[in-house]
Structure 1
Amino acid sequence: MTPTRPPPLALDRCLATLTGPLCLVLALTIGLVLGPHSPVAAQERPAVIGARASVEAWSDPLEALGTLRADESVTLSATVTELVAELNFQDGERVEAGQLLIRLDDAEERAQLRAAQALRDERRGTVNRLSQLQSRNMAPRADVEDSQAQLRQVEAEVQALEARLSNYRIRAPFAGRVGFRNISLGSLVTPGTELVTLDKLDEMKLDFSVPESFLSILAPGLPLTARSAAFPDERFEGEVASIGSRVDPVSRSVTVRAKLDNPELRLRPGMLMEVVLRRNPRQAVVVPESVLVPSGDKQYVLLIDEADDNRLVRRQVRVGERRTGQAEILEGLTGGELVVSHGLQRSHEGDRVRVLGIAADDTSVRDILEANRHEEDA
């Protein structure tokens, strides 16, 4: 005969009027009659928060400090003595390769070039006329050869003037961002005068030193993460580009150069970066450190057996590398298994627990507790 369940309201009133051992006996009796899924039975279960073991990309960290450099950097300067006639950039402006930045006064050189070009045209006409006459045996061959030599001479002069004229036009050798403009129109510049800096910032070089004992694991392509105090919440991904050919005999370290993408141009040359090299990259089973239960020199977790009505199973695990808030599990767990993350003090092997929620990157313990509090209030 199936027992009749008392209405929830009547049960609450009954429990409210009883105290001490009689209330406990009645609650346990109702739990046995109604089964493990009854409200009373559920209240007897320890409340825990779980976490799932996940399979993630993992590596052994090697930390260092590095300094940023522009991928390409140059200080443009004058090679002639002349006045500044034209400025075609503003402070911090992005410029393209070949763009004219500064033009010095080149009126005299352009006049000389025009004169040389006119002489070249005259010599070219002379060569053509003498060649026609010589073809009809009306001019000696020596005159033709002399005129051709004079033409080649003036053509060389034109090329020299054109090359000299390029010294009066300062162009960007590559695309990048210019620095401060410290000259004005009409300024007199001389050879060696620094006119403007130009940096290619869409990719950065990061130089740092690593102890020589790690030379065996260094190789181009090794991934790394870099952080700056200017952007504490940002991580910049990169990889090792090259390794120095010498070890410093004083510090016993080798210089390593990495490349970082900088599409938003937030990084600047000279910035100090905290570098973390990711050695031995691999896929690993990862859990929060809060799930680990130490016992002597061994580590255990409380596994929540979801197929057995959330019964707890104590399982030994072998822990590998650790990083902030996380631990690598070498043996004892597989990806997707559910373990107790919070509530370990009230939980024991063999208990059946009530899982309040599963903590994850997008669900914190506070979120889970607040959600359950709202449910109880409702």
Structure 2
Amino acid sequence: MTLTSRSLPFPPARLLPSLALLLCLALSLPLAAQEHTAVIGARASLEPWSDPLEALGTLRADESVTLSATVTEIIAEVNFRDGEVVEAGQLLVRLEDGEEQAQLRVTQALRDERRNAVERLTQLQSRNMAPRADVEDAQAQLRQVQAEIQALEARLANYRLRAPFGGRVGFRNVSSGALVTPGTELVTLDKLDVMKLDFSVPEVYLALLEPGLRLTARSVAFPDETFEGEVASVGSRVDPVSRSIAVRAELANPELRLRPGMLMEVVLQRSPREAVVVPESVLLPSGDRQFVLVIDEDDGNRLERREVRVGERRTGQVEILEGLAPGMLVVAHGVQRVQEGDRVELIGIADDVISIREILETNRDAGDA
């Protein structure tokens, strides 16, 4: 049997170069048309870091007092309004003191009389016309009257209630004309520009507690705000029942929004340090090991899979102990769609100013346009 080119299982030799060229073009087209996967990056940054210790605390005023009457008398004046901020020494309540003022004037007149007597006897004694004993008796009587004046002035102070320190008064529950007796509460006064925060922590953390340790506090009354302070003192005893120790911190309150009695969520900043920090979304767990995808900007955004050792975590962030240096760029969004060796398209870098969601929304709007 004679074989012809039509009966052969492969094309004629003259067609082989053309088929080879078409095959090469077919294989090269997908590679040329392939696009780099879009990802969002984040830079490893060097930030202050600490190990949080949480507790619940109660606020107290820096200074707090309830002013009460010490004598039985009628109120003559009330010189404050509910919730008013007053200064130290400001007159708040004045009681009727007409009788005491009259006694003071009588005693002052007696003092003037005794003083004149001392001066006359002193002049006579200088001329040897009066015995020295009379001069000494007159001087003693003058000192006695002066002491009585001081006693009257001290008693008169009880008829005027002044603010012992600057702060904010409470509700006004008394009125002019009301009769008060010793112990009657007239007004409360709190110094609120600095607040004391009392809380307890387990005794196992005693070695870490010291004055000056930084903390943050939050309240349900101001859910979007964090208040900063520091430990002022540590209790001298451990509670034998709860095995905890009392701690007192101080919080600045310049706007007077915090009030005594408020419940605060406290976070103590233990072991403060500088740490390399990245978003938690960059981690690729593999068993007990953690990896990240580093973007090599000098090699066309090629990815390198690198093992890291992580430390403490906080909301949305993780501390990197080994494997990354500050400033390195890693994949923060899109880690599941790429692998080591890929080149990627970097559509944005997430940081404290712009989030991953904002970057995605911006690129989606740009695509729609």
Partner of 2:347: 356
Q: Secondary structure at the match of 1:275?
A: strand
Distance 2:146 2:26 in 1: 113
1:279 CA drift (Å): 0.2
1:366 CA drift (Å): 2.2
Structure 1 pair 102–27 and aligned structure 2 pair: CA distance change class (3 A): same
Partner of 2:284: 293
Partner of 1:76: 67
Asked if 1:278 corresponds to 2:280, the answer is no
Partner of 2:98: 107
Give unpaired runs (5+ residues) of structure 1: 1-20, 32-39
Q: Secondary structure at the match of 1:263?
A: coil
* TM-score, with length taken from structure 2: 0.92
Asked if 1:159 corresponds to 2:146, the answer is no
Task: Give CA deviations for 1:116-158 in whole Å, capped at 9, x if unaligned.
Answer: 0010011001100110010011111111111001000000000
Q: Secondary structure at the match of 1:122?
A: helix
1:346 CA drift (Å): 1.1
Structure 1 pair 142–292 and aligned structure 2 pair: CA distance change class (3 A): same
Partner of 2:298: 307
Structure 1 pair 23–360 and aligned structure 2 pair: CA distance change class (3 A): farther
Partner of 2:234: 243
Partner of 1:172: 163
Partner of 2:18: none
1:372 CA drift (Å): 1.9
AA of the residue aligned to 1:289: E
Q: Secondary structure at the match of 1:321?
A: strand
Distance 1:375 1:67 in 2: 50
Partner of 1:335: 326
Distance 2:302 2:76 in 1: 85
RMSD: 1.4
Aligned residue pair count: 347
Task: Give CA deviations for 1:276-323 in whole Å, capped at 9, x if unaligned.
Answer: 000000010000110000111110000000011100000010000001
Asked if 1:194 corresponds to 2:185, the answer is yes
AA of the residue aligned to 1:349: E
AA of the residue aligned to 1:63: E
Which of 196, 215, 218 is residue 205 of structure 1 equivalent to?
196
Distance 1:336 1:173 in 2: 55
Partner of 2:14: none
Superposed counterparts of 1:10-21, under 5 Å = none
Asked if 1:58 corresponds to 2:49, the answer is yes
Structure 1 pair 55–195 and aligned structure 2 pair: CA distance change class (3 A): same
AA of the residue aligned to 1:197: T
Distance 1:245 1:367 in 2: 51
Q: Percent identity?
A: 76
AA of the residue aligned to 1:27: L
* TM-score, with length taken from structure 1: 0.90
Superposed counterparts of 1:120-269, under 5 Å = 120-269=111-260
Distance 1:361 1:254 in 2: 37
Partner of 2:29: 27
Distance 2:173 2:61 in 1: 21
Which of 90, 102, 118 is residue 81 of structure 2 equivalent to?
90
Runs in 1 of length 4+ with deviation above 4 angstroms? 21-26
